Structure 1
Amino acid sequence: MARIPQSFIDELMSRIDIVDVIDARVPLKKAGHEYKACCPFHNEKTPSFTVSQNKQFYHCFGCQANGTAIGFLMEYEHLTFPESVEELARSAGMTVPYEGTRAGDKPRQTSREADDLYALMQQADDYYRQQLREHTGRQQAVDYLKGRGLSGRIAAEFGIGYAPPGWDNLLKKLGSSAERQKQLVTTGMLIEKDDGKRYDRFRHRIMFPIRDRRGRTIAFGGRVLSDEDQPKYLNSPETPLFHKGRELYGLYEARQVLRQIPRLLVVEGYMDVVSLAQFDIRYAVATLGTATTADHLQQLFKVTSEVVFCFDGDRAGREAAWRAMENALPVMREGRQIRFLFLPEGEDPDTLVRQVGKAEFEQQVARAASFSDYLFNRLSAQNDTASIDGRANLVEQARPLLAQLPPGVYRQMMISQLAQLARIDEHRIETALSQTKPPRQRGEAGERQPDRAGERSRQPQHRRGGGQDRQPFSPVRRALARLLHNPALAPEAGDPQRLAQLEIPGIDLLVTVLETLRHHPNLTTSAVIERWRDTEYARHLEKLAAWQPEIDDEASLKHEFTAAIESLDRLRLEARYDMLMTKSNHGNLTPEEKVEIRQLSSQLFH
């Protein structure tokens, strides 16, 4: 998979200004050496969100959100790491280089090529909307939308348009050259036959633009005007811009209306999303003609902590629910909720909300079955839990499912619930799970593992909860906090390798950061943090970077940093002295070690 070179990330961090990046999205006010605003990640009346121009780092004292400019775009605009880098690079007039590919990877398009395709898709979007307003045959489309109860406001908000009848309307409008027609084929807007002839993919359909997290039109869904025509729904094919296993219809629109999204309701169709919005239920999204994938779930949990799947109550709906549950297992953990809502047979969200209204519909959503209840009720219904054989079979069926849950409190609670149902000790189930190899996840997301600084979705940059660590007590944490406040202090530590022999928590990280700054003395705080993204140390560095000195002057900071290094040096000498004393008790010191122990004694105790 293509990777973004670390050297480019370093340069990007030195050329962009986080104040400009955030101020363009959240207006900032100068406050001393820093900038402040009300936090965009939680509701507050008094500003606790600070942005440090010196560190190129943001921190909220309320919810503990923090990170770099890259992390801010990932969290605020829900972009992936490469998308955030591309956005910042574009603003800085830089082109993102990609290096290395793996067998089977598709060649990555250049930024210019992608921009051309996005622009073309926007022109198609504009064209379809114009046809809904002006085409001579538009009335049938307008009548259909009105018959479904949609207002002009909602139709405009979702960008609904109309593809008129005919084989080459879009081709004539946008395909002015062979190159443009080729691009229209690439984006799936035209179909190319074996003989080279091309024609419009969408004809005589209501058009629903599919937008990515940044609001760019990347694909379309088209619905026929008469249920007698087939296929009822037609989606864009997979293209360089559109991967149906990763995108969710309506997510962009939900984020535009709701800054805080307490839950997301996953439904099956475009009209379900739009109709619910008409009833002021603005948190519905839809998968695009495919089962819910691991990538979908990652996208959902970037935005909210609660996901409710809404399915028809028929056999097909229940099978779809079970597939969604299986795909959700690897991402389920404490702090996340997944629930399942089954509608009466023959109903869908569109029809039901019209019958019962917003209040009753939302009550049904609130009563949806929890993830654990759905899983265990489904398995219990298949087994006679009153018999030993039935309970044994229950455990056997649950074992490969629970084995996919990530370690943590949630997994342990699921094990406890299974143990109660099966009437056996939890330890026996844990032993059985330890011997179970979880199945490899399949589906639209594939089986590719993320690369360092590569083309993948990243976890949200901040972690909520806990207070700011204003007084890191250990010398390692004191040194790191001062170093992150001012990376130029690194030379004051001397050769960091002498500290590597210490066996205390965090020393490896401190030594590595010092070595990095030794070889790259111009790195900013944000560049240092980005080098440890996706490692076990990222959380600790982010937390320490939020530290602020009581007296912020160069001399005091330098004194505190060197004092912390001196404390580590003393620990190093004490450890060496203790080792030599232990060896001396056995009479095994060499002449050189005898001299060394006298020198250490003089240094430490005189």
Structure 2
Amino acid sequence: MSRVDIVEVIQPRLPLKKAGRDYVACCPFHAEKTPSFTVSPAKQFYHCFGCGAHGTAIGFLMAFDHLSFVEAVEELASQVGLPMPRLNEAAHPHRNLQACLEEACAFYQKMLAQSPRGKRYLAARGIGEAIIERYRIGYAPPGWDTLLRALGKDQERCRQLVEAGLVVEREGKRYDRFRDRIMFPIHDPRGKVVGFGGRVIDEGTPKYLNSPETPLFQKGTLLYGLHQARQAGPSLPHILVVEGYMDVIGLAQHGFPHSVATLGTSVTRSHIQRLLRTAPKVLFCFDADAAGKKAAWRALENVLPELAESHKVGFIFLPEGEDPDSWVREKGPEALTALLENPVPVSEFFFDALAQQVDMDTLEGRAQLVELARPLLSNMPQGVFREMMQKRLARLAGLESLALEKPPARPPSRAARQEHLSPVHTALVLLLHKPALARKVEDFSALGELRLEGMPELLKLLELLKQHPHLNTGAILEHWRDTPHEGFFLHWAQKPLLIPEKGIETQFADTLNHLKALHVEQRIESLLAKAERADLHDEERRELQDLLQTRIKRKQRDRTG
């Protein structure tokens, strides 16, 4: 990535115009007349302020040219003149786990082909051979060690089966995790099998059993059926988020291939970011009962911070007791299509749900509505939609106008307008804008003791840049691709840097000094608290004296400087 210039990658495909330090164009991923697509040579990163599309040179080629990850890397290697062979996927650090999971998937498929019981269940649910093959559905036999005997050829392989979550090891004994279940392989964005969901055939419990968390399988970032949805056509008109694997399968059987499901968890912020990057319209389908409304609200809370004007998000509520699979089988595809064409908009669901919690006929109730809505709307990105939501709230509350944030007592400085970021987030934004700053950080191990939001990720970034000091922003983001940290670093890389270029190093140094001072104060408090309970050791007393001296010197510098 250090040899790639993102401007040279995008320019032949999309005419760019110079605008200050960056380049702009009309976004290729949504219709617009005023350019909102920005390319940053400094960050080696693109971002559209209209639809939210963003990424690196690799990501652009994957989205614009519809290339796979491997194909995009090879295209870039060719462009910069590197004689790069096809990527050796066997060099993946978790290749053994992936091999186990792939073998297990093939094994379960083979068992389904030999199981009248499994085939009868799927036939009764109306699932045909083509869908079974597309989603690689299988069957785990009822025996306690069928998979273990088939794949556990030696002790090392048995250990890998345990690590992959396919086999349970307890009190020195090993047995298959999945038994007598219809098996749904779960793929990562590159189409690799990373885990499984198993559905019981009879009335046993749990109804669904998922793989445990592994180095390859993180439920909060993966979506069942997303890989198949992407394969259904060159562009996705929408994505429908449902609650169960059988809903995804049943909808695909009836001509709705763009459905996905979470893996037994609520919809997370990471899910939302992935969905909005994948399709221009995202619809959530839930039951209309209390549990369904609660799940829909949790999804909405994670949608709001990611919602740009061009994003279309809606909610569909089925009658109580119905699910998408049963609905489409009983009512037919036309009934579901009608629901998809008339979803409940975000704004309507948001205000209706909050209004049900208060008495809108009283001043007190309307004031409570404002207090409930204000923090949620404050999390929305700046833009027209946020302003319209704000005005709608004012009308409902009977106010002429409404400010989401209290105005500052005096105009903030240019640096302060950086969204009032915390010191940790300020350091992240500065590092992602100018990774070379990390070379000035000699020792950051003590910062790990600070219990601050974003600190684990900041330490990961500093460690990465310590090991690879020449990485640019684009290369950093590619390092985190398809990991649980991808959305986090993409989010902070998008933040505009309002500090003048010549002030970046000073701001970064000041931010680090502030974090070190916080660590000193935290450690002093810890030692003083311990001293109240028991005597300190000699080493701890010396440490406390040194820390107090450090505090005094810092305060003297602050007064004089």
Where 1:206 maps in the other structure, the secondary structure is strand
Gaps of 5+ in 1: 1-8, 23-38, 44-55, 97-108, 440-445, 462-504, 513-606
**Match of 2:368, as an amino acid?**
N
Where 1:375 maps in the other structure, the secondary structure is helix
Residue 74 of structure 1 and its aligned partner are, at CA, apart by: 6.3
Match of 2:267 in 1: 292
Match of 1:411 in 2: 386
Q: Report the Cα distance in structure 1 between the residues aligned to 2:265 and 2:342, rounded to whole angstroms.
A: 26
CA contact (8 A) 1:205 1:225 kept: yes
Q: Report the Cα distance in structure 2 between the residues aligned to 1:159 and 1:433, rounded to whole angstroms.
A: 56
Match of 1:583 in 2: none
Q: Report the Cα distance in structure 2 between the residues aligned to 1:283 and 1:237, rounded to whole angstroms.
A: 26
Where 1:429 maps in the other structure, the secondary structure is coil
Q: Report the Cα distance in structure 2 between the residues aligned to 1:69 and 1:388, rounded to whole angstroms.
A: 54
Where 1:341 maps in the other structure, the secondary structure is strand
Q: Report the Cα distance in structure 2 between the residues aligned to 1:270 and 1:85, rounded to whole angstroms.
A: 32
Q: Report the Cα distance in structure 2 between the residues aligned to 1:267 and 1:118, rounded to whole angstroms.
A: 27
Q: Report the Cα distance in structure 1 between the residues aligned to 2:217 and 2:71, rounded to whole angstroms.
A: 14
CA contact (8 A) 2:374 2:404 kept: no
Q: Judging changes above 3 Å, is the alpha-carbon distance between structure 1 residues 66 and 123 closer, same or farther for their aligned structure 2 residues?
A: closer
Q: Report the Cα distance in structure 1 between the residues aligned to 2:408 and 2:355, rounded to whole angstroms.
A: 23
Query: Residue 178 of structure 2 is aligned with which of 198, 202, 223?
Result: 202
Residue 351 of structure 1 and its aligned partner are, at CA, apart by: 0.5
Match of 2:2 in 1: 10
Residue 183 of structure 1 and its aligned partner are, at CA, apart by: 1.1
Residue 460 of structure 1 and its aligned partner are, at CA, apart by: 13
Q: Give a deviation string over 1:311-349, Cα, whole Å, max 9, x none.
A: 111111111111111122211121112211111011000
Match of 1:188 in 2: 165
Q: Judging changes above 3 Å, is the alpha-carbon distance between structure 1 residues 71 and 431 closer, same or farther for their aligned structure 2 residues?
A: closer
- Please, what TM-score do these two structures have when normalized by structure 1? 0.58
- Please, what TM-score do these two structures have when normalized by structure 2? 0.63
Q: Does 1:318 align with 2:318?
A: no
Match of 1:549 in 2: none
Q: Report the Cα distance in structure 2 between the residues aligned to 1:66 and 1:320, rounded to whole angstroms.
A: 30
Moved more, 166-175 or 113-122: 113-122
**Match of 1:72, as an amino acid?**
L
Query: Residue 166 of structure 1 is aligned with which of 130, 143, 146?
Result: 143
Q: Does 1:429 align with 2:403?
A: yes
Query: Residue 330 of structure 1 is aligned with which of 305, 314, 324?
Result: 305
Where 1:296 maps in the other structure, the secondary structure is helix
Where 2:130 maps in the other structure, the secondary structure is helix
Q: Judging changes above 3 Å, is the alpha-carbon distance between structure 1 residues 393 and 79 closer, same or farther for their aligned structure 2 residues?
A: farther
Counterpart mapping for 1:235-246 below 5 A: 235-246=210-221
Query: Residue 348 of structure 2 is aligned with which of 373, 377, 386?
Result: 373
Residue 116 of structure 1 and its aligned partner are, at CA, apart by: 2.4
Q: Report the Cα distance in structure 2 between the residues aligned to 1:154 and 1:433, rounded to whole angstroms.
A: 56
Q: Report the Cα distance in structure 1 between the residues aligned to 2:421 and 2:364, rounded to whole angstroms.
A: 24
CA contact (8 A) 1:249 1:270 kept: yes
Size of the alignment, in residue pairs?
398
Q: Give a deviation string over 1:236-279, Cα, whole Å, max 9, x none.
A: 01111110000000111011012211211110000000000011
CA contact (8 A) 2:305 2:381 kept: yes
Higher relative contact order (CA 8 A, sep 6+): 1
**Match of 2:275, as an amino acid?**
L
Q: Does 1:68 align with 2:57?
A: yes
CA contact (8 A) 2:315 2:343 kept: yes
CA contact (8 A) 1:18 1:57 kept: no
Match of 2:100 in 1: 120
Q: Report the Cα distance in structure 2 between the residues aligned to 1:123 and 1:232, rounded to whole angstroms.
A: 24
Identity of aligned residues (%): 42
Residue 113 of structure 1 and its aligned partner are, at CA, apart by: 3.1
Let me know the Cα RMSD of the aligned residues: 4.2
Where 2:332 maps in the other structure, the secondary structure is helix
Residue 432 of structure 1 and its aligned partner are, at CA, apart by: 4.5
Residue 393 of structure 1 and its aligned partner are, at CA, apart by: 1.2
Q: Does 1:215 align with 2:195?
A: no
Q: Give a deviation string over 1:406-426, Cα, whole Å, max 9, x none.
A: 212221111011011112132
Q: Report the Cα distance in structure 2 between the residues aligned to 1:229 and 1:374, rounded to whole angstroms.
A: 36
CA contact (8 A) 2:378 2:405 kept: no
Q: Give a deviation string over 1:206-247, Cα, whole Å, max 9, x none.
A: 111101111111100111111x21111100011111100000
Query: Residue 248 of structure 1 is aligned with which of 223, 227, 240?
Result: 223
Q: Does 1:457 align with 2:491?
A: no
Residue 140 of structure 1 and its aligned partner are, at CA, apart by: 0.8
Q: Give a deviation string over 1:79-111, Cα, whole Å, max 9, x none.
A: 89x997799899935999xxxxxxxxxxxx994
**Match of 2:121, as an amino acid?**
Y
Q: Judging changes above 3 Å, is the alpha-carbon distance between structure 1 residues 377 and 91 closer, same or farther for their aligned structure 2 residues?
A: farther
CA contact (8 A) 2:141 2:179 kept: yes
Gaps of 5+ in 2: 13-26, 32-43, 410-418, 423-452, 462-472, 491-497, 505-561
Q: Judging changes above 3 Å, is the alpha-carbon distance between structure 1 residues 110 and 331 closer, same or farther for their aligned structure 2 residues?
A: farther
Where 1:130 maps in the other structure, the secondary structure is helix
**Match of 2:226, as an amino acid?**
L
Residue 366 of structure 1 and its aligned partner are, at CA, apart by: 1.8
Where 2:199 maps in the other structure, the secondary structure is strand
Q: Report the Cα distance in structure 1 between the residues aligned to 2:223 and 2:60, rounded to whole angstroms.
A: 22
Moved more, 305-314 or 292-301: 305-314
Q: Judging changes above 3 Å, is the alpha-carbon distance between structure 1 residues 263 and 94 closer, same or farther for their aligned structure 2 residues?
A: closer
Q: Report the Cα distance in structure 1 between the residues aligned to 2:71 and 2:363, rounded to whole angstroms.
A: 54
Q: Does 1:344 align with 2:373?
A: no
Q: Report the Cα distance in structure 2 between the residues aligned to 1:433 and 1:330, rounded to whole angstroms.
A: 21
